[in-house]
């Protein structure tokens, strides 16, 4: 356990590279995630160009992908699938799982709980470096001769198990599996660390029901990760065995390359069950931290306590529990028993209830508040909007009868990009703008923040809203082009619109990246508590010192949402201020 070593000698390597310090590790995660996000986003623009103008020569494709994958600027169909696959993998795992939890759980768990550091600094460091290693392997897989994995981010076997099925199922797929295995190890180490820290290292007075909602969300997320990632690990290992050791966990009755395969007796459906047993909790592993950050940002900037603190905790727990019993809604039409379809429809639609409670609580929080619309607050409100829009289309997809006709169409693409893609990214942006002063002691530029927000939210709705129409017109996802089908000629005009917005969105993100790196060096200096917030991280000095607080750790006397409390001059009362005589906590 990291104690309060006042005179700790730090070399460059121990301070900036193999650091044990949660604040530094958080920054490492954030910057790695930003780099991965740039790659993932660039890929999406490349395949969006193809979808808007299929088969046309575009020098930019040739410039980025070279003569092998885009000869004369015409995208190769295998490369298209590879881009789609790696885009999904990078954004889902490396940006929104590793990046989001890695950054904010690391930064905020010790700070908001009043701890000196994470329970195990060493494991934390190891977790980051495994994450880094897996990122490097994933990126490396993109530049090998036969191309990266291209069976979609879900890599269903037999497509992913048989190298003869497509070029991307060769070495690229092996590297994908190796990278994911390391990623899972990293994620598990991180999650265990978060759980142990939350359970053991809360400062005096910080009871579970005085923890900020951010911590509740990170905690529940970590539990979800620990329970579900091992299942993906076993799925990946069995897939590796099928690929290299001649087993047949997922293979049965296959005739490929002109030959009947020896391997029989397995089931591809088994992989789907294992994958989605992680896959669905994964959605909430992504979403809950974002919701946690948003809760905190909304409450602070509304100058009002979060409405229904306990109801929020209960709804997070309910969502977490339900997320384990809904994975089958990804598999309604795989041929699994229709009875299971009924069960999964029931459990899936139940999730809408705690989700609705959260939305109404957010609305009640901003009602009669005094809303300081900082860029972080705008992003938080934007996230609430996306959570509503994307959540509602989930009611269509979660209903097995309706899913029949929209399964795997652009309706799905629109739905999950809004709710967990853009939704979680918005939460992440809210977090970065809000806690940037905590990370770097400086503020990000507001005007650029506002421009960034407006460009992003317009682009997000511009990209993903029209996709619902493509889906309702029957257009399948992961098609290299729709030009082979007369029935899609009428809707092709929508694709250039989407692509234009996706380019706008990509360009807009450079405003953020510029602002981020510019503000690290040149931003306005922040004071200790720039947002006048109540939680403990703002009671620590602006300088990010080893052990976080110079003297004794702060003691907590109240819940974290005493904003505009009657009887106080200021509109916020930090958690470490003792209750007045006769004052009730949280009432």
Partner 1 sequence: MALLILLTVLLIIIAIAKILKSNELVYKLKDIDADTVSPAEIKTNATGILVFGFVLFAMVISTFIGWEKYLLPPSGSVHGVEIDTLMMVTMVIIMIVFFITHALLFWFVFKYYYRKDRKALWYPHNNSLEIAWTVVPASVLILLITYGMSTWSNIMYPEYEDDAVVMEVVSEQFKWTARYSGEDQTLGYASFALYGKNPVGVATIYAMEDRLQECESKVISFSKDSAELETLLTNGWNRENDYDKVISSLKNYRSNVNRVKRMLLEAEKNPALFDAGEDDLVINSDSIYLPKGRQVILNIRSKDVIHSAYLPHFRAQMNAVPGLTTRFVFEPRLTNEEMFEVAKAEGKNFTGYILLCNKICGTSHYNMKLHIRVVEDKDYRKWLSAQTVFKEAYK
Q: What residues from 441 to 470 belong to the interface with partner 1 (CB under 8 A)?
A: 443, 445-448, 450-451, 454, 457-458, 461, 465-466, 469
Tell me whether residue 484 is exposed, middle or buried, using C-beta atoms within 10 angstroms of its C-beta: 0 to 12, 13 to 18, 19 or more.
exposed
Stretch that binds partner 1, among 6-14, 183-191, 355-363, 539-547 (CB under 8 A): 355-363
If binding is defined by CB under 8 A, does position 218 make contact with partner 1? no
Stretch that binds partner 1, among 26-34, 38-46, 171-179, 247-255 (CB under 8 A): 247-255
Taking CB under 8 A as the criterion, the residue among 6, 145, 262, 581 binding partner 1 is 262
Tell me whether residue 207 is exposed, middle or buried, using C-beta atoms within 10 angstroms of its C-beta: 0 to 12, 13 to 18, 19 or more.
exposed
Q: What are phi and psi of 211, to 5 degrees?
A: -80, 140
Stretch that binds partner 1, among 99-107, 155-163, 539-547, 550-558 (CB under 8 A): 155-163
CA gap 78, 167 in Å, rounded: 7
Stretch that binds partner 1, among 26-34, 35-43, 114-122, 399-407 (CB under 8 A): 399-407
Comparing CA positions, the residue from 387, 376, 369 lying closest to residue 297 is: 376
If binding is defined by CB under 8 A, does position 8 make contact with partner 1? no
Is residue 345 within 8 Å of 404, Cβ to Cβ?
A: no
Say how many residues make up the chain: 587
Taking CB under 8 A as the criterion, the residue among 48, 407, 438, 544 binding partner 1 is 407
- Minimum CB distance to partner 1, residue 34 (Å): 18
Taking CB under 8 A as the criterion, the residue among 229, 410, 512, 531 binding partner 1 is 531
- DSSP state letters, 538-549: GGS-SS--TTSS
Where b means 16+ CB within 10 Å and e means fewer, 69-84 reads bbeebbbbebbbbbbb
Taking CB under 8 A as the criterion, the residue among 463, 511, 540, 573 binding partner 1 is 511
Footprint (CB under 8 A) of partner 1, residues 556-575: 561, 563-566, 571
Taking CB under 8 A as the criterion, the residue among 133, 178, 357, 520 binding partner 1 is 357
Comparing CA positions, the residue from 577, 572, 445, 573 lying closest to residue 520 is: 445
Residue 265 CA: distances (Å) to CA of 130, 159, 232, 251: 35, 17, 21, 7
Q: Which is nearer to partner 1, 92 or 182 (CB)?
A: 92
SS3 258: coil
- Minimum CB distance to partner 1, residue 260 (Å): 5
Question: What's the half-sphere exposure (Cβ side, CA atoms, 13 Å) at 516?
Answer: 19
- Minimum CB distance to partner 1, residue 117 (Å): 27
If binding is defined by CB under 8 A, does position 122 make contact with partner 1? no
If binding is defined by CB under 8 A, does position 289 make contact with partner 1? no
If binding is defined by CB under 8 A, does position 234 make contact with partner 1? no
CA gap 108, 340 in Å, rounded: 40
Q: Which is nearer to partner 1, 114 or 266 (CB)?
A: 266
Taking CB under 8 A as the criterion, the residue among 14, 146, 385, 555 binding partner 1 is 385
Q: Which is nearer to partner 1, 200 or 405 (CB)?
A: 405
Is residue 26 within 8 Å of 112, Cβ to Cβ?
A: no
DSSP bridge pairs for 476: 409
Taking CB under 8 A as the criterion, the residue among 20, 94, 307, 512 binding partner 1 is 307
- Minimum CB distance to partner 1, residue 270 (Å): 11
Comparing CA positions, the residue from 386, 401, 394, 397 lying closest to residue 465 is: 386
- Minimum CB distance to partner 1, residue 105 (Å): 26
If binding is defined by CB under 8 A, does position 356 make contact with partner 1? yes
Bridge-based pairing of strands 255-256 and 259-260 is: antiparallel
Stretch that binds partner 1, among 215-223, 229-237, 275-283, 334-342 (CB under 8 A): 334-342
């Amino acid at each position: 356990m990291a104690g309060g070593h006042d005179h700790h000698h730090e070399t460059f390597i121990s301070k900036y590279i193999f650091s044990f310090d949660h604040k530094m590790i958080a920054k490492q995660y954030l910057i790695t995630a930003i780099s991965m996000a740039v790659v993932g986003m660039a890929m999406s623009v490349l395949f969006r160009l193809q979808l808007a103008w299929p088969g046309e020569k575009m020098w930019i494709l040739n410039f980025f992908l070279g003569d092998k994958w885009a000869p004369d600027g015409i995208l190769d169909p295998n490369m298209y699938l590879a881009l789609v696959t790696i885009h999904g993998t990078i954004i889902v795992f490396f940006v929104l799982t590793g990046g989001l939890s890695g950054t904010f759980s690391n930064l905020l768990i010790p700070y908001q709980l009043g701890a000196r550091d994470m329970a195990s600094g060493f494991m934390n460091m190891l977790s980051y470096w495994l994450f880094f290693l897996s990122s490097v392997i994933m990126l490396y897989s993109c530049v090998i001769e036969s191309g990266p994995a291209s069976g979609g981010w879900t890599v269903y076997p037999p497509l992913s198990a048989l190298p003869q099925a497509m070029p991307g199922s060769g070495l690229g797929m092996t590297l994908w599996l190796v990278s994911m295995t390391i990623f899972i190890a990293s994620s598990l180490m991180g999650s265990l660390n978060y759980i142990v820290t939350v359970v053991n290292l809360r400062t005096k007075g910080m009871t579970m029901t005085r923890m900020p909602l951010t911590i509740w969300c990170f905690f529940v997320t970590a539990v979800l990760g620990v329970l579900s990632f091992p299942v993906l690990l076993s799925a990946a290992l069995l897939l590796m065995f099928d690929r290299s050791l001649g087993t047949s966990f997922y293979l049965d009755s296959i005739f490929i390359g002109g030959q009947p395969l020896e391997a029989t007796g397995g089931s591809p459906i088994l992989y789907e069950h294992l994958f989605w047993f992680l896959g669905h909790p994964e959605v909430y592993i992504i979403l809950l931290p974002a919701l946690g950050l948003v809760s905190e940002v909304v409450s602070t900037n509304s100058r009002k306590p979060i409405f229904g603190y306990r109801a929020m905790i209960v709804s997070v727990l309910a969502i977490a529990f339900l997320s384990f019993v809904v994975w089958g809604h990804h598999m309604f039409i795989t041929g699994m028993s229709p009875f299971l379809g009924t069960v999964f429809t029931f459990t899936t639609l139940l999730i809408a209830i705690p989700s609705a409670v959260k939305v109404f609580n957010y609305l009640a929080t901003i009602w009669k508040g005094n809303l300081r619309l900082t860029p972080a607050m705008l992003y938080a409100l934007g996230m609430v909007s996306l959570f509503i829009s994307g959540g509602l289309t989930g009611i269509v997809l979660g209903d097995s009868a309706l899913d029949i006709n929209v399964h795997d169409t652009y309706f799905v693409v629109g739905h999950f990009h809004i709710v967990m893609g853009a939704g979680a990214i918005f939460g992440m942006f809210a977090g970065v703008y809000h806690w940037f002063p905590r990370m770097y002691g400086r503020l990000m530029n507001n005007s650029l923040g506002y421009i960034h927000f407006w460009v992003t939210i317009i682009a997000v709705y511009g990209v993903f809203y029209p996709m619902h129409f493509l889906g309702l017109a029957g257009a399948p996802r992961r098609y290299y082009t729709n030009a082979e089908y007369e029935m899609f000629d009428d809707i092709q005009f929508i694709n250039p619109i989407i692509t234009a917005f996706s380019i706008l969105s990509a360009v807009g993100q450079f405003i953020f990246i510029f602002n981020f790196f510019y503000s690290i060096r040149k931003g306005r200096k922040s004071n200790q508590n720039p947002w006048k917030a109540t939680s403990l991280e703002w009671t620590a000095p602006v300088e990010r010192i080893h052990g976080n607080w110079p003297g004794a750790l702060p003691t907590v006397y109240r819940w974290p949402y005493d904003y505009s409390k009657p009887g106080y001059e200021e509109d916020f009362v930090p958690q470490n201020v003792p209750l007045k005589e006769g004052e009730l906590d949280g009432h």
